[in-house]
Structure 1
Amino acid sequence: GANLRAEPPGPRGRGEGTGPRSTVVVGAHLDTVLDSPGADDNASGVAVVLETARVLARLPQPPDVTLMLFDMEETGLIGSREAVRQLVGTRRVAGMICLESVGYFSSALGSQRLPPGAGLAFPAAAEAIAEGHHRGDFTLVVHRTSSRPAAEAWARAA
């Protein structure tokens, strides 16, 4: 497997303080699973990362964002684990936006299936999806409690 990583031009390494520079990671994975529409899982996330790169490239002073595409995500998170290993000590990750299956929308009844265990991990979301008759017409924002303000801003924007 191979990960791809891109950062805006400029000085790398240590910031003006004593530690590594802070960055926000925007990432998606390159692989898919059997019987999954690979265009959604996860070519759609890859497309958003590429569009993010295009938009950031036009800015005179782009924010400190690290764009990453992970390989071997569906085989034990191998790609993202390696990416974290490479970032540790060189960058301080202030946050991450992981774009997963963002290209699918369907208002048809029963068009959204949840993976096994999703209801245990995300009971409120699973209940809302069931109440919506399993339509694929939503965006799910998953976050740590400490990231609630950022997640709420993302949800409003989405």
Structure 2
Amino acid sequence: MGRRVSSDLDALEDWAAPLLERLQPGERKKLARDIARELRKRQAARIKRQKNPDGSPFEPRKPQARAQSGSIRRKAMFTKIRQAKFLKGRGQGDAATVGFSGRVARIARAHQRGLREKVDRSGPWYDYPERELIGYSDDDRAVIRDMILDRLGSEL
């Protein structure tokens, strides 16, 4: 899916670039900031629903051999890292980016790519299943397109 998303975003960029040239640099920066803010909000909502960008559910947590005390294992995954403190949307110049910051970026990368990581510093290794925390759906691309067209309509 990664290659398809990349080509779709490249196509969107190719379509939008000539249109965005009509805007002043300050307006382009403001539009990039607004797009980043909207995408961050949409990504956080999708993570809250425990869905991949294609609409499929996240692979559930690994079942435990013995019962754990507490309710952490019964709750939704990624409740903290979807907060604005960690999931950042930045609009700078002509670019809008959404990604994780701080220590949680490593955790998010392990889940995003399905990597093998240590559970604790001195703990066992675990092969995390791939859960796409950051990704763009067709709806996200439509929202970006609509935001660009709305801004161009109000500026022209």
Q: Which has the larger radius of gyration?
A: 2
- Please say whether Structure 1 and Structure 2 have the same fold, judged by a TM-score greater than 0.5: no
TM-score with structure 2 setting the length: 0.26
- Please state which structure has a larger fraction of its residues in strand: 1
- Please state which structure has a larger fraction of its residues in helix: 2
